[in-house]
Amino acid sequence: MQIAIIKYNAGNIKSVENAVKRLGYDCIVTDNPELIRNAEKVIFPGVGEASSAMQYLKKHHLDSLIKSLTQPTLGICLGQQLMCKYSEENDTDCLGIFDADVKKFPPEELVPHMGWNNIENLKSALFNGISDEDNVYFVHSYYAELSQETIATCQYILPFSAAMQKDNFYATQFHPEKSAWVGERILKNFLEL
């Protein structure tokens, strides 16, 4: 199976690549549209800032490419946020795959939300074998609001979308590649979709 990890100006790509390889799959890290379009699974990772990431995607025509994908595609962290409509982070229009906005956490607790938190209201094959007491690793200051497309919620300051899905597009705010066995199981579930 050909798995493509989209290469762009966001950190964390190495960890995602390592995690996929640990599961016994091969993958390529690429910004080549042909390779991405022909892959059976696509992962859209990301740590970084929304506006510069969107600018980079547009400049390299990856924005329209991502929206046009029809195979199972998984956004991670900033990847999930960029798949929403709009982000308050530097007033950024995003890809608009999910009908939700990305907002900054109010400073009622420490921001960023950093560390292990449990995810609840799980409704997707992505979470086969996972319960709402299982913890995953988060690092983020912005969150996607709850929407029709929310397939897992998390509670920190307020409830937000820990994971989303629409058609072939899946996304997690947390880092499955850094979430020990729980994250491995979620990645495996995605790769076996």
Closest approach of another protein to the CB of residue 139, in Å: 5
Q: Which of residues 156-185 bind another protein (CB under 8 A)?
A: 156, 175, 177-181, 183-184
Closest approach of another protein to the CB of residue 57, in Å: 18
Provide φ and ψ at 14, rounded to 5°: -60, -45
Provide φ and ψ at 46, rounded to 5°: 155, 130
Q: Does 125 bind another protein (CB under 8 A)?
A: no
Element (H, E) at 139: strand 135-140
Number of neighbouring beta carbons within 10 Å of residue 50: 23
Closest approach of another protein to the CB of residue 189, in Å: 15
Task: For residue 177, indicate whether it is catalytic.
Answer: yes
Site track 137-156 with another protein (rule: CB under 8 A), x = hit:
x-x---------------xx
With contact defined as beta carbons under 8 Å apart, do 173 and 136 qualify? no
Cα(42)–Cα(96) distance, integer angstroms: 18
Residue closer to another protein by CB (options 71, 118) is 118
Choose one: 24-32, 58-66, 89-97, 132-140; the region binding another protein (CB under 8 A): 132-140
Q: Does 106 bind another protein (CB under 8 A)?
A: no
The packing angle between helices 13-22 and 180-191, to 10°, is 80
Cα(142)–Cα(60) distance, integer angstroms: 25
Task: For residue 175, indicate whether it is catalytic.
Answer: yes
Cα(103)–Cα(111) distance, integer angstroms: 13
Give the residue numbers marked as catalytic. 77, 175, 177
- Binding residues vs another protein (CB under 8 A): 11, 14-15, 18-19, 21-22, 47-49, 107, 109-118, 135, 137, 139, 155-156, 175, 177-181, 183-184
